[in-house]
Chains A and B, each alone.
Chain A
Amino acid sequence: MHHLLVRFHAFTSTWRHLWSEELLALFLVVFVFVTPVSAAMRFQERGLYMKSSVPGATTSYTVSFRYMSPQAVGSVDMLFCLDPIPYHPCVTPPGLDVSDVGLDDQAGEIGFSILSKTTNRIVLSRPASMITGAPSSYTFDNIVNPTDTSQAFSIRLKSHASTNASGPQIDFGSVRGQVTNGVVIETQVPPMLIFCAAEEVVESCVNTNENYYTDMGELSAKSTLTAQSQMAVGTNASGGFAITANGIPPSAGTNVIDALNTPTKSIQGNNQFGINLVENRTPYVGGNPEGDWANAIPSPEYSIPDKYKYTSGDVVAYSPNVSLMKKFTVSYVVNSREDLRPGVYTTTINYVASGRF
């Protein structure tokens, strides 16, 4: 036992010569008080691009900066606050919410993913690796903008060697952004409907022959009386236009020439009054619609060549949407039986154009 104690004493005595109390104390002082040199630098070329500045809008942000310290970076801390001062308490910008963001794109120093996110903080993480010095940018989507337009907000940025934004910072800095109310511009496009009717009109309605009366001649069972008139129409009504024909068939006192209730050919010796809006060969009368707007057309029952119809109130032409000037030629045919009572048969047909705004 004594032998062992002597050997232990000899061993410790040797180390005591190597590690005097003074040297040990110096070591402890150095160990305790000399912390690793930190050379935190400010990120350069810092910028914030907000895709939308509408208060409260959900949008994307691109945060860009250049890492400066030639050290390995494992995480980036982004803290959204009203002011950029790192040691001030962080007041979250009212309305801002980054708790649902996604890292949509990254450039420069890459390999990051979102480690954690709260209402006003995003931590990006990657396996720590040395920076390359290239400008870097990170695009986040699903950020809800702040709502306060009276002041800017800040993103406090820090990089760390650790992968969870803990420990000493490497580089730091901040960027600022501001939401603004946009400029609302309001105007109206007035409803416009241009319509003209006469024996002859020009397509733009700037002129007509101002003749609204036609003497069709003497009725006979062996002939067909014909006449024609024209009308032009255009509108910016988004629902288009409709033209109705209104009026009773030709009559003389109580005697009325029957109107054709369905599209029917002109047959001499029958009491017939009808119209259509296309070119006919039997008899030779009328003309097809003129104009570029293909969406303005005669109604189907009034667009069959050589077949005529007339029902008061019928829509004889229309367009389903905006249509500028279109000219229609209306053909009138009258046939009569031999026993048609004599008299002066007249009628007044009114055309009414309506816009469906």
Chain B
Amino acid sequence: MYTLKSIVRRGTPLVAVFAMVAATVVPSAAVFADELNPLTERSLMLSSSAPGFVDTDGSGNSTAAPNAIGENYAPAGSGPNGKKTGETFSFKVSSNATIKAFDLQYCTGAAGNCQAPGNNQGDARDSLPSAREANSAAWPNNRSDLEILDGFVQATPGADPTAGEFQVYVNGAASDETWTIDASNKEDTLHSGNLTGKNNYITLKSTTGEALANLNPVKIVFVPSETVYITNPGAGSFFVKMNTYNSDTTLDGTTKVDGGVTVANVMTDSIHITTKVLETMAFSVGVRNRDTVTVDCLPVSVTTGCEGEDSVHGTCDPIQNINNNRLNLGNPDAEYSLETTKAWDVNSYWRLSSNSSGGASVYYSGNTLANTVGDEISEVPSETVSTPGTEQFGLGFVAPEEGSAEYTGQFGTGNIGSAPLKTLVGQTDPGDFPAGQTASAAYDEAEGTIYDDSGLSVQPGTAKFKFLKSSLETPELIAQQNSDVISCATAKMRYVGNIAADTPAGVYTTKINYLAAPQY
């Protein structure tokens, strides 16, 4: 017993010393476990972290099985597609050396014997390679092995890669050197688990190489195509061992420069968010555009548009119906009557919003101006200048005015227009009109004067108008586009009235209806 106590008493300080020494030495041992210099700031970015058996978008469509109109949102290299991925490796080197080769080895562990990632069934060692399930057989069962398909080629030296290509970047610039790629299987048969037998090892070699210095950033980018790609494993994390070599012929410990480090990445299935966008439509017709009035004012008045303090504009307010959409056309000093020596005009607006992917069409329908005994002011069968002294009732598009100062203060200028409906001749802004928008061609020149009284006699103006009273039975198409949704398309219509000396006296009225037909 005394001996035991003595040993304990005398041994305790020795144990403490060993403990202190161990605590000091062990962390360093981890660093020195790899005798090479490390690659630093290592990262691996996958184009998709979805499992390798997934290649569908949120609607369940894929390139192989698109929707009814041939569309899908999961092409190779996209976020939802784990079958056909691309990868970007980034790191900084530690050593000053001319690097002529890189290798990338995908394993399930960070160190030790390498087993390629994947969760297919079977072991490739049993009878290579058929004992391990092929990906095509495993995918329907929600399993996948990591697999690097042969076929990647280097992009043009100095250029960025496109589909099916890779590129090496040094200091942010695409390498001007020629690099060759080889993909193969490199697993350790001593590993206790099943092996995949699939390509998990990439080498990039260049006979000239790149002269790299300490902390030079390197990036290796693989861009997938529908036929050349890297398939993710079906689950779990994996590691990539990366090394640089100063030889393009011998890739082993004798030529290693930097490396021996690992990068891990975790497979996760994509987050699928499903929602529905239902058909919408908002069509308003009126005689005042709320965007053009000041609404934050008192007293509240329909006439002025004042709506009270703190009133604000919306991004796409409906066109306002004032006075039951009644417009008086003519000389206000003569009870809004028309004259033989002067043309008169009025304006209205319509505004259409619709999420119809097939665009929309807008029509008008109505009779020409007529009195109660059947006398009519003549229609304008083709686009014609306004001519005082000649019976005319026509309409056409003009550019909507900018919003009020209050509106532009909220939203800026340039927001009010007919786009994506092209309604004005020469209209280019915003410059992205779909081709073939010609529905407004007969109504697109209503800008300009409606008469010219600068000379001895009154002459026609420059503005042109058209109106068909047959529209009462067959609505007349005046605006159309078939490829885009309609986001707050605002049109301003201009109506002109002219009479001849023999136009029967009386009160003339008409009602013009506008129709919108979206195509969903």
- Surface stretch bound by A, among B96-104, B226-234, B322-330: B322-330
Q: CB of A26 within 8 A of chain B?
A: no
Q: CB of B358 within 8 A of chain A?
A: yes
Please judge, given known A-B contacts A50-B517, A174-B279, A187-B497, whether A181 and B334 are in contact too, CB under 8 Å: no
* Nearest CB of B to A166, in Å: 25
Q: A183 near B505 (CB under 8 angstroms)?
A: no
Contacting B279 at CB < 8 Å: which of A176, A321, A324, A357? A176
- Which residue numbers of A lie inside 8 Å of B, CB to CB? 41, 44-54, 68, 83-85, 149, 152, 154, 173-178, 180-192, 234, 236-238, 321-324, 355, 357
Q: A85 near B520 (CB under 8 angstroms)?
A: no
Name the A residues within 8 Å of B493 (CB-CB).
Answer: 183
Q: A236 near B282 (CB under 8 angstroms)?
A: no
Q: A186 near B329 (CB under 8 angstroms)?
A: yes
Please judge, given known A-B contacts A49-B517, A84-B278, A85-B278, whether A186 and B509 are in contact too, CB under 8 Å: yes
- Whole-angstrom CA separation of A112 from B371 in the bound complex: 44
Q: B502 near A322 (CB under 8 angstroms)?
A: yes
How many A-B pairs have beta carbons closer than 8 Å: the answer is: 186
Q: CB of B337 within 8 A of chain A?
A: yes
Name the A residues within 8 Å of B369 (CB-CB).
Answer: 185, 187
Q: CB of B366 within 8 A of chain A?
A: yes
Q: B283 near A178 (CB under 8 angstroms)?
A: yes
Name the B residues within 8 Å of A355 (CB-CB).
Answer: 505
Q: A54 near B338 (CB under 8 angstroms)?
A: no
Q: B358 near A45 (CB under 8 angstroms)?
A: yes
Name the A residues within 8 Å of B505 (CB-CB).
Answer: 188-192, 236-238, 355, 357
Q: B279 near A184 (CB under 8 angstroms)?
A: no
Name the A residues within 8 Å of B361 (CB-CB).
Answer: 49
Name the A residues within 8 Å of B68 (CB-CB).
Answer: 41, 44, 68
Q: A152 near B375 (CB under 8 angstroms)?
A: no
- Whole-angstrom CA separation of A47 from B495 in the bound complex: 29
Q: CB of B344 within 8 A of chain A?
A: yes
Q: A178 near B334 (CB under 8 angstroms)?
A: no
Binary A-proximity of B499-520 (CB < 8 A = 1, otherwise 0): 1011111111111111111111
Q: CB of B280 within 8 A of chain A?
A: yes
Name the A residues within 8 Å of B516 (CB-CB).
Answer: 53, 177-178
Most A-side CB within 10 Å, residue of B328, B334, B514, B520: B520
- Whole-angstrom CA separation of A178 from B330 in the bound complex: 31
Closest partner residue, chain B, to A39 (CB atom): B68
Q: A188 near B508 (CB under 8 angstroms)?
A: yes
- Whole-angstrom CA separation of A327 from B480 in the bound complex: 53
30 A-B contacts (beta carbon < 8 Å): A44-B69, A46-B358, A152-B283, A154-B279, A176-B354, A177-B516, A178-B516, A181-B324, A182-B512, A183-B286, A183-B511, A184-B325, A184-B510, A185-B329, A185-B509, A185-B511, A186-B327, A186-B329, A186-B336, A186-B509, A187-B344, A188-B338, A188-B507, A190-B505, A191-B505, A236-B504, A237-B505, A238-B371, A322-B502, A322-B504
